[in-house]
Structure 1
Amino acid sequence: MKMIKIGTTLIALTLMPVAVATTIYSWKDANGKTVFSDHPPESGQYDQQHYDDPPPPPPVLDAEAEPLPQPSAEPELKNPPPSKVSLLTPNHEQTVRDNAGRLSVSVSTDTPLREHYQVQLYVAGQPFGPRSSVNQWQVENVDRGAHELSVKLLKNGKIIASTSPVTVFMHRASKGQLPSLPKVGQPPAEAL
């Protein structure tokens, strides 16, 4: 019986954390690599770091204890900072010259576009195309004239930020102004 108590006491003592001071030495070897050791080198210069307390041991979990709460994938802040969305291109009052009427639109957000976050392009105050998780659009066949563009950032379908509207001017040659191209096998008009 006495042996069991001594054995139990010895086991308990070995499991208890012990505060031990530690000194770590570091130096460069002949190949220029950094070496770490608990003993200083036989010769040469070295750095010495003294540590008084080792880190605490991990907690011992009881089988009957409540499980630790798992962190959520996206922590919810009580008062998160407002999200921002900025229209990068085109610039306000920019003139775009493209006879096919192509217009590139790109935005920047401070929130990554994933899962619950999307952006929506608006032309003349109306949604243009579907909501997107991509921050660039290539708008085709834009008519000549002035167009108002804006972008809204949505979270779960609810608008959380928007850009100020910008006006863009599309210049396209009219059909009467386009030069006629020669047919295959025909010389250009200047050559005749």
Structure 2
Amino acid sequence: MRILILIGLLLLSAQSLATVYRWVDENGKVHYSDEAKNNAEAVDLKENTQNNITINTPTKINTTEPKEAPISYSISITSPQEEATIRDNNGAFTVSVSVSPELPRGVMMTLLVDGIVTAPPQASNIFTLTGINRGEHSLVVNAVTQSGKVLASSSPRKIFLHQASVFGPARKSK
């Protein structure tokens, strides 16, 4: 059975080497065929008429992905202003923060008053504080990942908190 297939393939390949004929019809149109027609001439095919395709493969394929440059975040405290005086007997005030570009999901901001974290980490850019004692304070906001890595920090902001004295005027008794 294999011998019959082999002989059949040899016969087919011999036919593929058939002669090509060229002729011009009465309208002046050129025709090509593998069958001889009257006033057809055999065409001699040269090696350079055959299609040859070569594919150049790169010698080294770059499998490493380009590394992205680390993003530089900018954090600034927009309110209260530098050396602002805040008057509140409860020691309450609000700190507003501006961040650019937007922080990725999972990164929180913490507020440090005099180097101590005074508010829990949050995604909001507004911190509301209460119970802060009077005097001079330094505010800093950090962008912190879940693992505790600080991505960015604001520059320190100095503020002054004033409260009425506990030694106010004496109350009149009834």
With normalisation by structure 2, the TM-score equals 0.55
| Residue number in structure 2 paired with 1:172 | 163
Instruction: Among all aligned residue pairs of Structure 1 and Structure 2, give the percentage whose two residues are the same amino acid.
Output: 31
Structural mapping, 1:34-183, within 5 Å: 78-113=68-103, 115-156=105-146, 157-177=148-168
SS in 1 for 2:131: coil
**Cα 1:134/1:176, change in 2 over 3 Å:** same
Task: Give the unaligned 5+ runs of structure 2.
Answer: 1-65
Cα distance in 1 between the residues matched to 2:128 and 2:73? 24
Contact 1:103 1:139 in 2 (8 A): yes
Cα distance in 1 between the residues matched to 2:67 and 2:128? 35
Q: Which has the higher contact order (CA 8 A, sep 6+)?
A: 2
1:166 partner letter: R
Cα distance in 2 between the residues matched to 1:169 and 1:151? 17
Contact 2:108 2:143 in 1 (8 A): yes
1:148 partner letter: S
**Cα 1:178/1:145, change in 2 over 3 Å:** farther
1:86 partner letter: S
Structural mapping, 1:7-26, within 5 Å: none
Cα distance in 2 between the residues matched to 1:77 and 1:154? 22
Following superposition, the deviation at residue 115 of structure 1 comes to 2.7
SS in 2 for 1:129: coil
**RMSD of the alignment, in Å?**
2.6
SS in 1 for 2:76: strand
2:88 partner letter: D
Contact 1:114 1:133 in 2 (8 A): no
